[in-house]
Structure 1
Amino acid sequence: MTAQQQSALIPRRRTAPEQATAPSRLRARAAAFTVWYLRLIALLNIAAVVSVPFRREVDEHNTGRIYASHSSHRFHAHHAGEYFTPYLATAGLVSAALAIFLSMVMRRGKRAAWMVNMALAGPLFALYALALTQNPFRAHVFNWASALLTGLFVAALLIGRREFNAVGDRSNPKLALAVGAGGMLITGAIGTLLVGATNKLHGATLFDKVAYTLLRGISVGPLADRVHAVQAPRWVDVIVNIMVAAGFCLVLYVCFRSPRGRDLLGAEDEERLRALLDRHGERDSLGYFVLRRDKAVIWSPTGKAAVAYRVVGGVSLASGDPIGDPEAWPGAIDAWLAEARRHAWTPAVMGASEEAGTIYARHGLDALELGDEAIVDLADFTLDGRAMRVVRQAHNRVRRAGYTVRIRRHADIPDTEMATLVERADHWRDGATERGFSMALGRLGDAGDGSCVMLECLNAEGELRALLSFVPWGEHGLSLDLMRRDRDCENGLMEFMVVELLVRAQELGVRRVSLNFAMFRAVFERGARLGAGPVLRLWRSILTFFSRWWQIESLYRANAKYRPVWEPRFLLFEKTADLPRIGYASACAEGFLTPPRLPQRRRSQPDGAVKPQAPQGGRTTA
């Protein structure tokens, strides 16, 4: 990549009219303050809980309980005496979990999180202000500091309220209530049994044990010491607090989770996308994969361009380039980013070309080169020469064994034969989970995909042993979608089929073919060169090691033998801190991970929507 091309992928600096005004900067800083306050309070709560086993100083006013210092006692005696602590500082894991979750969702601009904080912190600050008018509370500087911090937090909430406008899923409140009720019953029952079994005192009633368990769920400090009939060991207090905190975390996750993006590709949108592909489909080899029916689509204001995406784990994951007129791409990208901000989704793009990456970068996204796509220009392809000897020998060996290849458009395959091909593709699939998202169509044999091309490899007895399927890439190109073969067949069948397609492609009017995508291709190529630096050689060694389990280097080697043109593909993201989240979402979308799902009520499809099909194939992307 040239220096000019690399600089094009760097987000441009905003001009003066685009820069934030003073009020907006103040709002942003106030919103950031609320996030950092919650993070600090969570850290203090966790530190207070972890310090429980290490306290050595005996406080005479708490029946021999052990505390580290008088200041530590103040922190743990939340609302239990003359002291009160800042908002959410209760020396408990439940408060820590609440602070952590609220900081995370506040960082993503969730309106519900802002409302929860105001509902909790606002009345608490009013209570603190009222308490400071009375003795003995006003005599302690610690109380004034607590009220000041809580007041600053409330003020920051009010100033930055316009920064929190992301909406959540409408089903969250009901599901959170159900999960909270069930979690309270389970954790309360287990905690009550544990407290009853380890209680050092006699005469405690069931009500005493339940009350002690619930109070211990809030704090490991002296809050539960008011239940005089119960005295449990410290390790029990911590375990009860951890259990309640874990259940509370699940409730918080359900309460603040982002909408799942259930609006799938409808028949009307699919028809409009096909029209755009007819006019602009030659721009991107991955363009046809926008027709996957587990994606949603968002249009530019003019309707001349669109971005297809799927929401996975709170990440709005687009793939490939926008579809349509490049002049309308910015409008579609703006609409997609606005939709992501409205629902607090993390925007990301997988497999964008350099041209699209430049446009995305101008909208504030950073670029990371993922790898390269192997594209064979048929005008330059030949089997002659020493460089093609290995491919030529493999092709001749398989042909001498009696194998032949039949090439047909899907529309020319009878329904009964197509059903057989689908059945064989499922049977030959490696593993129960179908993989593919950014470079796979996700179906085989659909009536709307008649322009796709099928390659069937038959042995000398006429039995089907392997197949390849390609999707259209404009009018004169093909892009690999599906690869399947019988594991017991002759080695080299895939190479044989690819060469047959490249040699006979003129029969179909094809001029270029996109093959597999090779991740980190440049690392393998440059790392093997003379004079490669130590960092590059180390990176290549790491990738080579992981290639034992994933097809990383093998995909590069398998495609390099055809001497293709390598076209870089990029991952676009907004913040570096989002990369782990994006990586997880990408792995789930591609089928490498299968996350557990919460039960959800089935919703009817929108009018005209096409029912999504189970994926039937996918290009290997390592």
Structure 2
Amino acid sequence: MRRPEIGGGMEQTRLTRPPMSRRAVARLVQAAGVLDILTAVVPHRPRMTATLDVIPVAGVLSARAATVVAGLLLVYLGAGLRRGKQRAWQVAAGLAAASIALHLLRDFSLVAAGLATALLIVLLATRDRFTALPEPRSRWRALTALIGFGSAGFVLGFIEIAIRANRLVGSPGVAAWAKESALGLIGFDGPVHFQHRFGADVVAYTTGACGLLAAGTALVLLLRPGSRRAQRPAESEERLRELLSRYGGSDSLSYFALRSDKSLIWSGNRAAVIAYRVVNGVSLAAGDPIGPASAWPEAIGAWLTDAERHGWTPAVLGCGNAAGKAYRKAGLDVVELGDEAIVETAAFSLDGRPMRGVRQAVGRMRRAGYHCRVVRQRDLGADELRAAIEAADAFRDGPVERGFSMALSRLGDPSDADCLLVLCYDEGERLRGLLQFVPWGADGLSLDLMRGDRTAENGLTELMVTAVLEAAPKLGVRRVSLNFAVLRSVFARAEELGAGPVLRLWHRLLRAASRLWQIESLYRSNAKYLPSWTPRYLCFPAARDLPRIALAALRAEAFLPEVTVPRLRGRQNADAEVAA
């Protein structure tokens, strides 16, 4: 990824794949790791015999095991080196230096030691290409893990020696026991000798395993992808709302930039902003940049530069066509992710055969005494709003609040006074369902929250959606964005005459995935309102990054349990970070 170039009075950025030299170094390091593993697993016997004349067997075996570990770690470091992580370079250089000594200790392999030396020279020569900033807290987490597991291994080894105190050769003191346990953590024998080999092996394996666990865990934590805790000062929030009032109508997802867990990064003159969140080393933006399209390149450049500086993988979820072109011009690859269902309210009607299913569901609900109230949040009384918040929490399916790219994850915040609520009551005036729509410019609404009592009559959702579409013209709303349908075109085309075997296979796979993530049901629930479909896109640097991006997106949307998304509540403090 190149840094921005300044030209023509505007920052122009072109994202490329990591520089060939950096990518080549990562491959060399991984190849060296594989070589270390192979040479340790298949040692050269004559040289090993010669080494045993000057080095104890325990030392040779420890060097052999350490070489395997070093090789595995070098392979693991490849991904961090491709992203230019400074700490990955530091660890790789240290392991390359250690490999030189290990090859000599293990079987005096001059060829392997020479290759490790060459690798170290390459790493030193390319040091300036690995400058991505490390996670500030990872050093202390790694140190804590190293001390914690190391101490546990030391204590366990000491206890095992104490248990076998009557089976030791001679009478070594407690200090010797401690030395034996401590040396066992790094794979060496100490001054304590056992009458039976079994006891020595148990102590060696216990302390050695804990030592490897401590080192491996510490390294993983040291190289763990960084994150960014969001902080949103009042002036940034105010500027964002100003941009939304002027440019929020261009993208139905713009209002979701107000989520408290999204960071903001601005163009130099603060004319445009990108809302994003860092999840496991992926800088995940959602929707289009907010602001005039002429200012997008500078905001995109600032965001990409920030991602490069920290070694994060940039990705965009659900941007529109114009933004997709801007991101592609900046060097990201773009693929269609799915389609957004948009209903033009002036054309909506329950009449006609295609609307028969919705019409019947709405009629059945109305005959059962269900009715809806469509109201702006600012027009609700305090008690009514509190009841809506409590109902939303009660109706939620499970303890986790899902959503990131197309969800606000709060209800009743005073700053969201323009949000529209659809409250559905049964004949006993008990609240049985609600929808929340966020503003989409001055004349649009975008669906945010959909909750319903699962014990209510079938047709609750159809009644609430119909209520807002019928009330929209009086509210000055001409378009309503409903749910997003992932890979909608696959479901639509698979039903057409002549669909090929590849498409049918892809359709079957998606239907299987729908059992977990409701992909097909979301498409069907949208299609019944006869919307127009607007494509949404995924932007990413390279195909190899897609698995990481997919995991980050699933965690951000709370489909994986590692992520914690804010719960709905009446008042929510802003907590996101601004990167200028």
TM-score higher than 0.5 here?
yes
- 1:302 maps to 2:293: no
Q: Quick one: structure 1 residues 471 and 45, their matched pair in 2 at CA, closer, same or farther if it must change by over 3 Å?
A: same
Q: State the match for 1:164 in structure 2.
A: 130
- The residue identity in structure 2 corresponding to 1:321 is D
Cα 1:194–1:401 change in 2 (3 A) is same
- 1:203 partnered with 2:169: yes
Alignment of 1:26-105 (within 5 A): 28-44=19-35, 46=37, 70=45, 73=48, 80=55, 91-92=66-67, 94-105=69-80
User: Residue 488 and residue 162 in structure 1: after superposition, are their counterparts in 2 closer, same or farther (change >3 A)?
Assistant: same
Q: Is residue 588 of structure 1 aligned with residue 555 of structure 2?
A: yes
Other-structure match for 1:437? 404
* CA displacement, residues 20-46 of structure 1 (integer Å, 9 cap, x when unaligned): 9xxx99x95554444234323433555
Name the SS of the counterpart of 1:323 in structure 2: coil
Matched, 1:501 2:468: yes
**Residue 152, structure 1, aligned to residue 118, structure 2:** yes
Distance 1:158 1:96, change over 3 A: closer
Q: Tell me, yes or no, if the aligned pair for 1:199 and 1:231 is still in contact at 8 Å.
A: no
- Residue by residue over 1:5-62, the C-alpha shift from the partner in whole angstroms, topping out at 9 and shown as x without a partner, is xxxxxxxxxxxxx999xxx99x95554444234323433555577x5xxxxxxxxxxx
**What residue number does 2:145 align with?**
179
Where does residue 84 of structure 2 map in the other structure? Answer: 109
| Aligned CA distance change for structure 1 residues 203 and 30 (closer, same or farther; 3 Å) | farther
Gaps of 5+ in 2: 1-11, 565-571
Aligned partner of residue 236 in structure 2, secondary structure: helix
Deviation at 1:210, TM superposition (A): 5.7
Give the counterpart letter for 1:42 in structure 2: G
Judged with a 3 Å threshold, the aligned counterparts in structure 2 of structure 1 residues 43 and 234 are, in CA distance, closer, same or farther, namely farther
Report what 2:363 is aligned to: 396
Of 208, 220, 226, which aligns to 1:253? 220
One-letter amino acid of the structure 1 residue matched with residue 349 of structure 2: T
1:484 and 2:451 are equivalent in the alignment = yes
Deviation at 1:68, TM superposition (A): 6.9
TM-score (norm 1): 0.79
> CA separation in 1, counterparts of 2:150 and 2:365?
65
Q: Deviations over 1:309-358 (max 9, x none)?
A: 11111111111111111111111111111111111111111111122112
For this pair of structures, how many residues does the alignment match?
A: 550
Q: 2:319 aligns with which of 333, 352, 363?
A: 352
Aligned partner of 1:265 among 232, 248, 252: 232
Distance 1:459 1:362 in 2: 53
Query: 1:301/1:383 Cα in 2 relative to 1: closer, same or farther (>3 Å)?
Result: same
Listed one character per residue, the Cα deviations across residues 376-401 of structure 1 (whole Å, up to 9, x for unaligned) are: 11233222211111111111111111
How many angstroms does 1:464 deviate by? 1.1
Q: 1:447 corresponds to which letter in structure 2?
A: P
Deviations 1:458-511 (A, max 9, x none): 112222111100000011100000011111111111101111111121111000
SS at match of 1:324: coil
Q: Check 1:254–1:423 CA distance in 2 against 1; reply closer, same or farther (3 A cut).
A: same
Aligned counterpart in structure 2 of residue 538 of structure 1, from 501, 505, 526: 505
Contact 1:289–1:438 (8 Å) recurs in 2: yes
Name the CA shift for 1:420/1:360 in 2 (closer, same or farther; >3 Å). same
Asked whether the equivalents of residues 340 and 481 of structure 2 are also in contact (C-alpha less than 8 Å), the reply is yes
Q: Which amino acid aligns with 2:123?
A: L
Cα RMSD (Å): 3.7
The AA in structure 2 aligned to 1:403 is Y
Cα distance change of structure 1 residues 71 and 319 upon mapping to structure 2, 3 Å threshold: farther
Query: Does the Cα contact within 8 Å between 1:298 and 1:306 map onto a contact in 2?
Result: yes
The aligned runs of 1:530-569 (5 Å cut-off) are 530-569=497-536
Residue 122 of structure 1 and its aligned partner are, at CA, apart by: 5.8
Where structure 1 has 5 or more consecutive residues not aligned to the other structure, the ranges are 1-17, 52-66, 132-136, 598-608, 614-622
Equivalent AA in structure 2 for residue 345 of structure 1? W
Are residue 521 (structure 1) and residue 496 (structure 2) matched? Answer: no
Whether 1:338 and 2:305 are equivalent positions in the alignment is yes
Matched, 1:427 2:427: no
Q: Which amino acid aligns with 1:108?
A: R
Q: Is the 8 A contact 1:78 1:90 kept in 2?
A: no
Measured in 1, the distance between the counterparts of 2:150 and 2:215 equals: 9
Relative to structure 1, is the Cα distance of residues 468 and 75 closer, same or farther in structure 2, using a 3 angstrom cutoff? farther
Output the CA distance in 1 between the equivalents of 2:143 and 2:54.
27
Is residue 148–residue 214 contact of structure 2 (8 Å, CA) maintained in 1?
A: no
Cα distance change, pair 153–81 in 1 and its aligned pair in 2 (3 A)? farther
**Deviations 1:151-183, CA, capped at 9 Å, x for gaps:** 322221222112111111223333322221111
Instruction: Choose which of 377, 392, 399 in structure 2 pairs with 1:410.
Output: 377
Equivalent residue, structure 1, for 2:6? none
Match of 1:276 in 2: 243
The one-letter code sitting in structure 2 at the alignment partner of 1:38 is: V
Given the superposition, is the C-alpha separation of residues 275 and 231 from structure 1 closer, same or farther in structure 2, using an over 3 Å criterion? same
Equivalent residue for 2:422? 455
SS of the residue 1:479 aligns to = strand
The whole-number CA distance in structure 2 between the counterparts of 1:482 and 1:285 is: 14
Aligned-partner Cα distance in 2 for 1:402–1:345: 54
Deviation track 1:358-412 (CA, whole Å, cap 9, x = no partner) reads 2111222122322111111123322221111111111111111111111111111
Amino acid at match of 1:187: G
TM-score by structure 2 length? Answer: 0.84
Q: Aligned to 1:379, what secondary structure does the other structure show? A: helix
TM-aligned CA distance change 1:470 to 1:72, over 3 Å: farther
Q: Which moved more, 1:383-392 or 1:236-245?
A: 236-245
1:433 deviation in Å?
A: 0.6
Displacement of 1:145 in angstroms is: 2.2
Q: Which residue of 2 aligns with 1:188?
A: 154
